[in-house]
C-alpha cells in the first residue's frame, strides 16, 4: 500500500476519498461550506482519467436524484450539499432510505453552525436520523478520507444510503492526510429486484419494513465501529460524550489525556450499549456536540430517567453557535486565560459587493423608482451576492428566506394586494428554484416585476458555472412570460436612465414582467482575462 | 515545537499566501499542521482570519484557543486588533501598518497605531512601503512572512524554498522579488524586536 501524504481541506479529503474508493459520480449544487468537494473532483486529473462524472447539478434535489440513479445502475455515487440544500433534497433523501441503494450511495452534507455563510444552523444528523440511515461524522480530515471507504462498504452491505455529516470547521480546515491506493469502480449492474425502487404503496410498505429491520444492524455497526471509541478514565464524577469535532476540542483541553471516561462518537445511530455503560459508571454525563443537542436530547428523553445529562440544554454550553476549545473548557470547569479584549475602536467590517459589480447598478435603479416613489418594503429578494443589497448603502431588499422564495413571495404579496411587488433573484438561483415560482405567477397573471440579476455565474460561492448562462431569456419565454415584457439591459452607470425608464414602463403593465440585467461578475471576468493573458 | 498563529486581514488581501509559504516549510520539516480557513460570504471584502497551527506533536483542534496564539500576523492594522483575545501572554503581534479602508467608519489611523503600540510585544511594519522599496509592490504578504520568521522555530531556508515552489511557475524574476520582500521583512524585525 502506498503511503502518500497530502495536505487537504476536509472537503478535499472527502473528494479524494470518494475518487479513491471507486466512486463513479459526484452530484452537487454549490453551497458554502460544501462547494470545494466538487471543485476538487473537477480539478483532479485522476478523476478525469477515471472518467468520473463531476459536473454541477441544477439544485440539490436533482443532485440527489442523479446520484440515486447512478446507485440504481450499480455504481458508487456521492451527492454533496450544504445543510439547507438537504431541505431542498429532502424528498429523494428520505425516500432513498426506503428504496435503499444498489451501488454505494453517500450524501455528504456540510452544516454551518454559527451561520458563517448561511441562513440557519440546522443539524443534518437529525435529518439522517429521520431518514433512518447510518450517519458518519468525521473528527479529522484523515477520518473524513477513510470514512468514505467505510461509508461505501456500509452502504453496499445493507443496500442503504449513508449520510456523511461535516461542519464548516472541518470542511475548510487543512491537514495532512495519508491516502490509500485507489480501488476500481463498480461495473454497471442493475438491482436484482427490479421493483426495489418503485415506491408504490404496496412495495413501499415492504421496503419500509426492510429499513426498519435494518435498524438493529445499523446499531450493531455503530457499537462495533472503529470510529466509536470508549476511552476509560479514572475520574467517574463525569463521563463525556464527544461527537465528531467536539472530541478535538475536548482533547485540546487535556493534552496529557482526559481524566474522565469518554465516548468518541463518530458513527450513528448512537451506540446504546456504549452509552449505557458510560451512564452507569459516571455520576453525570456531559455531551459535547456541534450543531443541535441531538444526542443530549435523546439521552435526557421526555421523562426524567435519573440520568444527569449536561450540555447545550442545561447551559453548560451555549444553545446555539459553533463549539470551540474555550467553550468546551468552560463546560468542563477549566480555566482558560484569554488575551486582552478587542479595543473599542475596532469596527465591524461586513462583506460588500465588489467594486464595479452590476448588482450595484441594478439596486441604484430599483431604489430610484421603487423606494423613491413607493417607499421601503416592496422588494423580495433571494440568496446570492445580490443579498448584500440589504446592507447600506443600498438597503433595497426586504426578504431573503430560501432559494427561489423571492418570486413566490412577491406573487403571494401581490395576491394580497401589494403594489408594486418586486422580486430580485440571481441567475443561478433562478435555475435552482426560481423557474417553477415564475410559472405560478404566469398562470395566475400576477402583477409583479421579477429582476433576474444575470452575471453569468454563481458568484456568492466563488464563480461556479450557472445553468442559466446564455439561456435566461429563452427560459423565461418558455415559461410563458409575454416577450414584450422580457426586458434586458446592461447594468452600467451610463445606462442608468434607460434602466429607470424600463422599470417605469413595466410598472405600467398589469402582468408578469421580467427584467434581466446582464453583465458578467467582476471576479469571473478578471479570472478569464488573466487566463487569456497567460495563453 | 509548537506555533499557533492567527492570520488576519480583509477578504481579497490574500492572507492564504502566507499560510501556503509557512505550510510548505512546516510540512517539509515533518511537522503536523492544521489550518482553518475562511471561505464564502466574508471573502467579499469582509474581515477574514485563518487559524494556522504547527507542532511536532499531533494537533487536535482546528481552532487556536483564545489566549493561546503565539503570533498574530495581520496584513491590516485594525484587523490585527480584532484578534487580541487570542494572543497568549508571551505572544507577538506582527502587523502591517498600511490600512485598508473599505468601511465608512474606519477609525482614526493614529488611534489604531497607538493601540498596536500598547501591546508589549509587537512589530508594526509598513509592509506596503517596504514591498515597494524592494520593487515588489505586490509582495506585502511576503514582507510579513519575513517579519514573522524571526519569531518562529521554522527553517528560514525552507520558507525561501516554499516561495520558489509556489511562485516558480511565474518565473525566476517573481521568485526573486518575493524572496527580496521576505528578506526585507526579516531584517526589519531583527532591528525592531
Ligand atoms: C438551498 C441552498 N443551496 C445553496 C445555497 C448556497 N448559495 C447561496 S447563494 C448561491 C448562488 C447564488 O448565485 P446567483 O443566484 O447566480 O447570484 P450571484 O451570487 O451570482 O449574485 C448559492 C449557491 C443556499 N444558500 N441554499
Ligand atoms: S463576486 Fe461577482 S457578483 Fe459577487 S459581488 Fe463580486 S462582482 Fe458582484
Q: What is the DSSP letter of A343?
A: P
The highest-level CATH class for domain B2-192 is alpha beta
Residue B43 has pLDDT above 80, yes or no: no
Q: Who contacts A461 (Cβ-Cβ below 8 Å, separation ≥6)?
A: A30, A31, A32, A35, B40
Select from A313, A331, A349 the last residue of a domain.
A331
Can you tell me the distance from the alpha carbon of B110 to that of B107, in angstroms, rounded to the nearest whole number? 9
Judge: B88–A339 Cβ closer than 8 Å, yes or no.
Answer: yes
A341 pLDDT exceeds 50? yes
Residue A195 DSSP symbol: T
A406 lines ligand 1 (CB under 6 A): no
Question: Residue A263 Cα, ligand 2 centroid: separation in angstroms?
Answer: 45
Q: State yes or no: pLDDT of B42 exceeds 90.
A: no
- pLDDT for A441-494, tens place per residue? 999 999 999 999 999 999 999 999 999 999 999 999 999 999 999 999 999 999
Contacts of range B188-191, beta carbons closer than 8 Å, 24 or more positions apart: B188/B123, B188/B125, B188/B130, B188/B143, B188/B146, B188/B147, B189/B94, B189/B123, B189/B125, B189/B146, B189/B147, B189/B148, B189/B149, B189/B150, B189/B151, B190/B150
Q: Which three cell numbers stand for residue A325?
A: 476549545
| Confidence (pLDDT) at A535 | 72
Q: Does the distance separating the beta carbons of A462 and B47 come in below 8 Å? A: no
The alpha carbons of chain B give a radius of gyration, in whole angstroms, of: 16
Query: Average pLDDT in the A60-88 region?
Result: 98
A173 touches chain B (CB under 8 A): yes
Segment A416-429 mean pLDDT: 98
Contact B36 A462 (CB under 8 A): no
Same domain, A381 and A261: no
B136-163 pLDDT, tens digit per residue, is 999 999 999 999 999 999 999 999 999 9
- Please check whether residues A235 and A169 belong to one and the same domain: no
Q: Tell whether A349 is covered by a domain.
A: no
For chain A, the domain total comes to 3
Residue A235 shares a structural domain with residue A114: no
Percentage of chain A lying above the pLDDT 70 cut: 99
Are A461 and A483 in a shared domain?
yes
For A289-321, the DSSP string reads -SSS-HHHHHHH-SS--S--EESTTTTSS-SSS
Query: Tell me, what's the pLDDT at A307?
Result: 79
**Neighboring chain A residues of B38 at a CB cutoff of 8 Å:** 116, 172
- Chain A segment 241-270 residues within 8 A of B by beta carbon are 245, 247-249, 251-252, 255
- Which one-letter DSSP state was computed for residue A535? -
The CA–CA distances, whole Å, from B78 to A287, A341, A376, B47 equal 38, 14, 34, 10
Asked if B102 lies within 8 A of A116 by C-beta distance, the reply is no
In whole angstroms, what is the distance from residue A453 CA to residue A463 CA?
14
The long-range contacts involving A39-47, CB below 8 angstroms and separated by at least 24 positions, are: A39/A462, A39/A464, A40/A9, A40/A11, A40/A12, A40/A15, A40/A16, A41/A15, A44/A15, A44/A16, A44/A19, A46/A19, A46/A182, A47/A19
Closest by Cβ to A352, choosing from B36, B102, B112: B102
Confidence of residue A1 (pLDDT cuts 50, 70, 90): very low
C-alpha to C-alpha distance for B144 and B94, rounded to whole angstroms: 8
Task: Examine the pLDDT at A179 and tell me if it is beyond 70.
Answer: yes
Contacts of A247 in chain B (CB under 8 A): 60
- pLDDT tens sequence across A256-315: 999 999 999 999 999 999 999 999 999 999 999 999 999 999 999 877 667 799 999 999
CATH, residue A109: 3.40.50.970
pLDDT at B44: 81
The answer to the question of residue A341 being in a domain is: no
**Residues in chain B, total:** 193
pLDDT at A379 over 90: yes
Residues A123 and A22 in one domain: yes
Averaged over A155-182, what is the pLDDT?
97
Give A324 to chain B, closest Cα distance, Å.
Answer: 7
Query: Which residue's CA is minimally distant from atom 5 of ligand 2?
Result: A353
For ligand 2, pick from A452, A462, A521 the residue to mutate: most ligand atoms within 8 Å of CB. A521
- Residue A27's contacts (CB-CB under 8 Å, 6 or more residues apart) are A53, A57, A62, A63, A64, A66, A67, A70, A77, A78, A79, A80
What are the extents of the domains in chain B? 2-192
| End-to-end Cα distance, chain A | 40
Residues A325 and A291 in one domain: yes
Neighbours of A348 (CB within 10 A): 9
Model pLDDT, residue A362: 98
For residue A415, give Cα distances in angstroms to A17, A408, A409, A445, B117.
50, 10, 10, 10, 61
Domain boundary among A331, A348, A369: A331
Helices (H) and strands (E) in chain B, counts: 7, 6
Report the C-alpha gap between B102 and B108 in whole angstroms.
14
**What is the per-residue pLDDT for A304?**
66
What is the Cα–Cα distance from B30 to B154, expressed in whole angstroms? 11
Name beta bridge partners: A49: none
Instruction: Say yes or no for a CB contact (<8 Å) between B34 and A175.
Output: yes
| Cell numbers standing for residue A93 | 433523501
* Statement to judge: residues A215 and A243 lie in one domain: no
Which domain range does residue A291 map to? 229-331
Return the axis-axis angle of helices A201-223 and A141-158, rounded to nearest 10°.
130
Those of residues 483-512 in A touching chain B at CB distance below 8 A are none
CA–CA dist A37, A164 (Å, integer): 13
Residue A331 has pLDDT above 70, yes or no: yes
For residues A356-382, one letter each, b for 16 or more C-beta atoms within 10 angstroms of the residue's C-beta and e for the rest, the string is ebbbbbbbbbbbbbbbeeeeeebbbbb
Distance CA A70, CA A190 (A): 10
Whether residue A395 sits in one domain with residue A248:
no
Spell out which residues of chain A touch residue B67, defining contact as CB-CB under 8 Å: 326, 336-339
Contacts of A289 (CB under 8 A, 6+ apart): A241, A242, A243, A244, A246, A295, A296, A311, A312, A323
Give pLDDT, residue B167: 92
- Closest of B62, B1, B24 to residue B165, by C-alpha: B24
Q: In what side-by-side order are the strands of the sheet with A309-310?
A: A229-231, A262-265, A239-243, A285-288, A309-310
For ligand 1, atom 4, the nearest C-alpha belongs to A31
- pLDDT at position A303: 73
How far off is chain B from A384, nearest CA to CA, in Å?
9
By CB atoms closer than 10 A (0-12, 13-18, 19+), residue A297 is: middle
Longest dimension (CA), chain B: 45
Closest to A354 in 3D by CA, of A206, A217, A460, A241: A460
Q: Which of B159, B151, B147, B138 is nearest to B186 (CA)?
A: B147
Q: Does A7 touch chain B (CB under 8 A)?
A: yes
Q: What is the mean pLDDT of residues B175-183?
A: 97
Tell me if B85 and A339 make a contact (CB, 8 A cut-off).
yes
Query: Do A313 and A444 reside in the same domain of the chain?
Result: no
Are A301 and A376 within one domain? no
Burial A452-476 (b: 16+ CB within 10 A, else e): bbbbbbbbbbbbbebbbbeebbebb
Amino acid at each position: 500500500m502506498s503511503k502518500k501524504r497530502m495536505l487537504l481541506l476536509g472537503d478535499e479529503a472527502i473528494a479524494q476519498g470518494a475518487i479513491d474508493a471507486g466512486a463513479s459520480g459526484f452530484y452537487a449544487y454549490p453551497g458554502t461550506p460544501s462547494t470545494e468537494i466538487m471543485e476538487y473532483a473537477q480539478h483532479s486529473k485522476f478523476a478525469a482519467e477515471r472518467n468520473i462524472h463531476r459536473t454541477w447539478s441544477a439544485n440539490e434535489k436533482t443532485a440527489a436524484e442523479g446520484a440515486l440513479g447512478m446507485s440504481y445502475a450499480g455504481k458508487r455515487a456521492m451527492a454533496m450539499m450544504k445543510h439547507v440544500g438537504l431541505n431542498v433534497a429532502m424528498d429523494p433523501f428520505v425516500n432513498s432510505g426506503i428504496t435503499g441503494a444498489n451501488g454505494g450511495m453517500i450524501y455528504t452534507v456540510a452544516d454551518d453552525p454559527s451561520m458563517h455563510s448561511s441562513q440557519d444552523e440546522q443539524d443534518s444528523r437529525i435529518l439522517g436520523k429521520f431518514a433512518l440511515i447510518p450517519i458518519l461524522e468525521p473528527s479529522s480530515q484523515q477520518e473524513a478520507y477513510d470514512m468514505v471507504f467505510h461509508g461505501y462498504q456500509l452502504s453496499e452491505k445493507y443496500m442503504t444510503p449513508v449520510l456523511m455529516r461535516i461542519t464548516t470547521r472541518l470542511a475548510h480546515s487543512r491537514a495532512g492526510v495519508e491516502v490509500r491506493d485507489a480501488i476500481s469502480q463498480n461495473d454497471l449492474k442493475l438491482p436484482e429486484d427490479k421493483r426495489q425502487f418503485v415506491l408504490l404503496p404496496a412495495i413501499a410498505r415492504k421496503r419500509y419494513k426492510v429499513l426498519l429491520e435494518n435498524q438493529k444492524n445499523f446499531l450493531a455497526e455503530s457499537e462495533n465501529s472503529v470510529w466509536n471509541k470508549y476511552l476509560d478514565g479514572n475520574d467517574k464524577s463525569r463521563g463525556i460524550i464527544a461527537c465528531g469535532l467536539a472530541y478535538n476540542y475536548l482533547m485540546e483541553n487535556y493534552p496529557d489525556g482526559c481524566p474522565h471516561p469518554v465516548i468518541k462518537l463518530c458513527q450513528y445511530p448512537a451506540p446504546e450499549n456504549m452509552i449505557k455503560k458510560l451512564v452507569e459508571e459516571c455520576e453525570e454525563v456531559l455531551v459535547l456536540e456541534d450543531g443541535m443537542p441531538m444526542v443530549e436530547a435523546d439521552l435526557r428523553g421526555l421523562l426524567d430517567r435519573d440520568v444527569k445529562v449536561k450540555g447545550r440544554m442545561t447551559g453548560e454550553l451555549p444553545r446555539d453557535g459553533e463549539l470551540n476549545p474555550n467553550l468546551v473548557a468552560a463546560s468542563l470547569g477549566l480555566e482558560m486565560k484569554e488575551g486582552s479584549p478587542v479595543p473599542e475602536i475596532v469596527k465591524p467590517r461586513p462583506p460588500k459587493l465588489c467594486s464595479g459589480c452590476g448588482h450595484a447598478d441594478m439596486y441604484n435603479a430599483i431604489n430610484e423608482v421603487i423606494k423613491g416613489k413607493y417607499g421601503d418594503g416592496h422588494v423580495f429578494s433571494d440568496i446570492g451576492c445580490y443579498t448584500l443589497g440589504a446592507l447600506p448603502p443600498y438597503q433595497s431588499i426586504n426578504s431573503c428566506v430560501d432559494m427561489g422564495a423571492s418570486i413566490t413571495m412577491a406573487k403571494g404579496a401581490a395576491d394580497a394586494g401589494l403594489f408594486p411587488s418586486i422580486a430580485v433573484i440571481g441567475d443561478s438561483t433562478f435555475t435552482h428554484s426560481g423557474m417553477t415560482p415564475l410559472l405560478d405567477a404566469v398562470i395566475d397573471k400576477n402583477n409583479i416585476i421579477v429582476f433576474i440579476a444575470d452575471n453569468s455565474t454563481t458568484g456568492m460561492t466563488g464563480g461556479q458555472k450557472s445553468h442559466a448562462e446564455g439561456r435566461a431569456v429563452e427560459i423565461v419565454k418558455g415559461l410563458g412570460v409575454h416577450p414584450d415584457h422580457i426586458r434586458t439591459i446592461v447594468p452600467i452607470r451610463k445606462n442608468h436612465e434607460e434602466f429607470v425608464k424600463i422599470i417605469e414602463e413595466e410598472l405600467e403593465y398589469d402582468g408578469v414582467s421580467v427584467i434581466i440585467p446582464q453583465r458578467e461578475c467582476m471576479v469571473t471576468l478578471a479570472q478569464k482575462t488573466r487566463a487569456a493573458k497567460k495563453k | 515545537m509548537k506555533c499557533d498563529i492567527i492570520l488576519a486581514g480583509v477578504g481579497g488581501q490574500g492572507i492564504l499566501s502566507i499560510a501556503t509559504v509557512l505550510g510548505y516549510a512546516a510540512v517539509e520539516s515533518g511537522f503536523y499542521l492544521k489550518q482553518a480557513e475562511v471561505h464564502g460570504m466574508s471573502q467579499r471584502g469582509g474581515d477574514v482570519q485563518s487559524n494556522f497551527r504547527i507542532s511536532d506533536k499531533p494537533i487536535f483542534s482546528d481552532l487556536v484557543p483564545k489566549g493561546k496564539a503565539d503570533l498574530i500576523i495581520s496584513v491590516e492594522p485594525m484587523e490585527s486588533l480584532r484578534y487580541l483575545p487570542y494572543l497568549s501572554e508571551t505572544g507577538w503581534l506582527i502587523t502591517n501598518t498600511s490600512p485598508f479602508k473599505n468601511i465608512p467608519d474606519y477609525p482614526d489611523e493614529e488611534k489604531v497605531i497607538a493601540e498596536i503600540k500598547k501591546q508589549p510585544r509587537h512589530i508594526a511594519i509598513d509592509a506596503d512601503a517596504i514591498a515597494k522599496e524592494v520593487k515588489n509592490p505586490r509582495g506585502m504578504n511576503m514582507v510579513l512572512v519575513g517579519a514573522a520568521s524571526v519569531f518562529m522555530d521554522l527553517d528560514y531556508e525552507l520558507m525561501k524554498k516554499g516561495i520558489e515552489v509556489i511562485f516558480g511557475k511565474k518565473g525566476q524574476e517573481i521568485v526573486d522579488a518575493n524572496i527580496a520582500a521576505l528578506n526585507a521583512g526579516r531584517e526589519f524585525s531583527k532591528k525592531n524586536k
